[in-house]
A = this chain, B = another copy of it.
């Protein structure tokens, strides 16, 4: 019998534990592709298992349920998109990172569709992703408020009250979600140009 070894002395996971983490990561990345392509209901554990090598039962054992795998997928997607947004922070104000993000979305439409559907569906407290989504929205709004506050204090934007900051964050998140819905319903819609033009109106409106 092998005993899992959570962390060795240098703090790096090793052995079966490390392989477990790596295996989870593989499954999540693959499931991201499958759900992104076929949707949550359309995509099956069998498809994920076929691509990653293994059985649906083994995947269920790793994640507990298809719903929990979905949450891991959304979490993974949240990290990827979060990194893209963060890359934008270094130049100009933080809004440019979101322009980058739209480019990513256009190239990962299936996931966007999955995420947007999930956001609306998960509003019922019984939904498996309810807590994940409400937390994600809360944290996203908070981080957007921080962005507007920093841009205001840093002199990129004019002085904004906390109420104005809260509203700007709400509008930014709403515009992102709303334009994304328009894009998934109409692939001809130019999401990147439309959002970039919105960011211009924000810069104009909040100019010092």
Residues of A near any B CB (own CB < 8 A): 39, 42, 113, 116-117, 119-124, 133-134, 137-138, 141, 167, 170-171, 173-179, 181-182, 184-186, 189, 194, 197-198, 201, 204-205
Q: Once bound together, how far apart are the Cα atoms of A147 and B39, in whole Å?
A: 36
Is the pair A120, B181 in contact by a Cβ cutoff of 8 Å?
A: yes
Is the pair A119, B205 in contact by a Cβ cutoff of 8 Å?
A: no
Return the contact of A123 from the options B175, B177, B185, B194 (Cβ within 8 A): B185
Sample (12) of A-B pairs whose CB atoms are under 8 Å apart: A116-B120, A117-B117, A123-B181, A141-B182, A167-B197, A170-B182, A171-B178, A171-B198, A173-B178, A174-B174, A175-B175, A205-B205
Note all chain B residues with C-beta closer than 8 A to A178.
171, 173-178
Copy count, this protein chain:
2
Q: Once bound together, how far apart are the Cα atoms of A181 and B205, in whole Å?
A: 25
Is the pair A167, B185 in contact by a Cβ cutoff of 8 Å?
A: no
Main secondary structure of the interface of A (DSSP, over half): helix
Q: Once bound together, how far apart are the Cα atoms of A133 and B133, in whole Å?
A: 24
Q: Once bound together, how far apart are the Cα atoms of A178 and B195, in whole Å?
A: 14
Closest 6 CB pairs of A and B: A174-B178, A123-B184, A117-B120, A178-B178, A116-B120, A177-B178
Q: Specify which of A170, A197, A201 lies most central, judged by the most chain B CB atoms within 10 Å of its CB.
A: A170
Shortest distance in angstroms between A165's beta carbon and chain B's nearest beta carbon?
12
Q: Once bound together, how far apart are the Cα atoms of A194 and B173, in whole Å?
A: 12
Shortest distance in angstroms between A185's beta carbon and chain B's nearest beta carbon?
5
Shortest distance in angstroms between A113's beta carbon and chain B's nearest beta carbon?
5
Return the contact of A134 from the options B121, B170, B185 (Cβ within 8 A): B185
Return the contact of A120 from the options B141, B179, B184, B186 (Cβ within 8 A): B184
Note all chain B residues with C-beta closer than 8 A to A122.
185
Note all chain B residues with C-beta closer than 8 A to A204.
205
Q: Once bound together, how far apart are the Cα atoms of A107 and B117, in whole Å?
A: 22
Is the pair A181, B119 in contact by a Cβ cutoff of 8 Å?
A: yes
Q: Once bound together, how far apart are the Cα atoms of A134 and B194, in whole Å?
A: 18
